[in-house]
């Protein structure tokens, strides 16, 4: 069951259960994906990198850069992964509980493509 929290700005966020439950070694591709964001100092300021990895192969399957760490960034990386891998429904997408992943927009994209949201504890 998904929980909702209210970040700054008042819009509800979706907190998904931890379906991955530390199963970091799946036996086949396109079963468990994991996403995260990091930041990189550049000459013009900070850049943000969203990466999606397939936990079976441990390979990065998609990434996106932006000057803003928002849900548009994570959604773009997700759409690139979907476009490259063309997975069947039911892929588990695991992330932390950062606002970029709990946002309504990102969760809607997961649902649109039939992916299941999973999140680590806060």
Q: Which residue range(s) make up the domain with 89?
A: 3-119
Which pLDDT belongs to residue 11? 57
pLDDT: which is higher, 35 or 89: 35
Q: What is the overall mean pLDDT for the chain?
A: 88
pLDDT over 60 (residue 1) = no
- The percent of residues above 70 in pLDDT, for the chain, comes to 85
The pTM of this model reads: 0.84
Q: Which pairing describes strands 45-54 and 59-66: parallel, antiparallel, or unpaired?
A: antiparallel
Kindly state the tokens that stand for 71: 């849900």
pLDDT over 80 (residue 9) = no
Alpha helices (runs of H) in the chain, residue ranges in sequence order: 71-85, 99-102, 104-112
pLDDT: which is higher, 16 or 84: 84
Q: Per the structure, how many domains does the chain have?
A: 1
CATH number of domain containing 113: 3.30.420.10
């Amino acid at each position: 069951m998904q929980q909702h929290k209210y970040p700054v700005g008042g819009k509800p966020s979706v907190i998904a259960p931890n379906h991955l439950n530390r199963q970091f070694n799946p036996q086949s591709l396109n079963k468990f994906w994991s996403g995260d964001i990091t930041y990189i100092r550049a000459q013009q300021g900070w850049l943000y990198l969203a990466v999606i990895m397939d936990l079976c192969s441990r390979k990065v399957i998609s990434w996106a850069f932006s000057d803003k760490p928002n849900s548009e960034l994570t959604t773009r990386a997700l759409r690139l992964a979907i476009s490259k891998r063309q997975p069947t429904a039911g892929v588990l997408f695991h992330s932390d509980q950062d606002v970029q992943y709990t946002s309504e927009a990102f969760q809607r994209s997961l649902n649109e493509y039939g992916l299941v949201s999973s999140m680590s504890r806060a």
